[in-house]
Amino acid sequence: MTTEEKPEPGNAFDWIGGEARVQELVTRFYDLMDLEPAYKELRAAHGSDLTSAREKLFWFLCGWLGGPNHYIERFGHPRLRARHLPFKIGILERDQWLACMDQAMGEVGIDETLRARLRESFFGTADWMRNTPS
Ligand code: HEM
């Protein structure tokens, strides 16, 4: 490592900057879902009120990134694929979710190295959740 390179923090949760930054990311993600015509099918899959989705994604991401297990403490194992079975998830919905999250990561200024790694991990999870042939 050269002197200019900073060592990477221990896990993604610390790297992102803790709960306040995860909250910022989730807030921007759902604001964009509400605002951007490019995500309209994804938005339409959600109910009119995004409050519960905002809370749950925040709790989930804290643990998924290596921070506190807020989601598991409240709901047990995430079983994300099973919990998403009531919603149609094809390529279109998967790609809108990923694009919306990537835009949110960019706008809140997530470190670019971390953003690239999270983009890959989100892809794996979102693709595994597909439950509808497109
Ligand atoms: C990596 C990708 C994704 C992650 C990490 C994720 C995460 C979550 C989490 C943690 C919840 C709360 C689950 C619960 O306790 O009920 C949730 C709910 C939901 N997700 Fe996802 N999700 C992803 C992709 C998608 C996609 C592609 C769709 C497209 C339809 C979608 C639609 C929904 C809907 C409609 C809800 C219910 C929201 C509510 O409670 O009002 N998700 N998601």
Atom 10 in ligand 1: residue holding the nearest Cα: 57
CA pair distance 48, 70, nearest whole angstrom: 24
Q: How far is CA 39 from the centre of its chain?
A: 14
- pLDDT tens digit at each of 134 positions of the chain: 444 556 567 899 999 999 999 999 999 999 999 999 999 999 999 999 999 999 999 999 999 999 999 999 999 999 999 999 999 999 999 999 999 999 999 999 999 999 999 999 999 999 999 999 87
Ligand 1 pocket by C-beta < 6 Å: which residues?
Answer: 42, 45-47, 52-53, 56-57, 60, 75, 80, 83-84, 87, 89, 93-94, 97, 122, 125-126, 129
CA pair distance 65, 94, nearest whole angstrom: 20
The string of DSSP letters for 41-110 reads HHHHHS-S--HHHHHHHHHHHHHHTTS--HHHHHHSS--HHHHHTTS---HHHHHHHHHHHHHHHHHTT-
pTM of this prediction?
A: 0.92
Residue type, 121: S
Residue of 25, 26, 56 with the most ligand 1 atoms within 8 Å of its CB, for mutation: 56
The answer to whether residues 22 and 67 touch, using CB atoms and an 8 Å cutoff, is yes
Task: Tell me the domains of the chain and their CATH numbers.
Answer: 14-128 (1.10.490.10)
Q: What is the pLDDT of residue 1?
A: 43
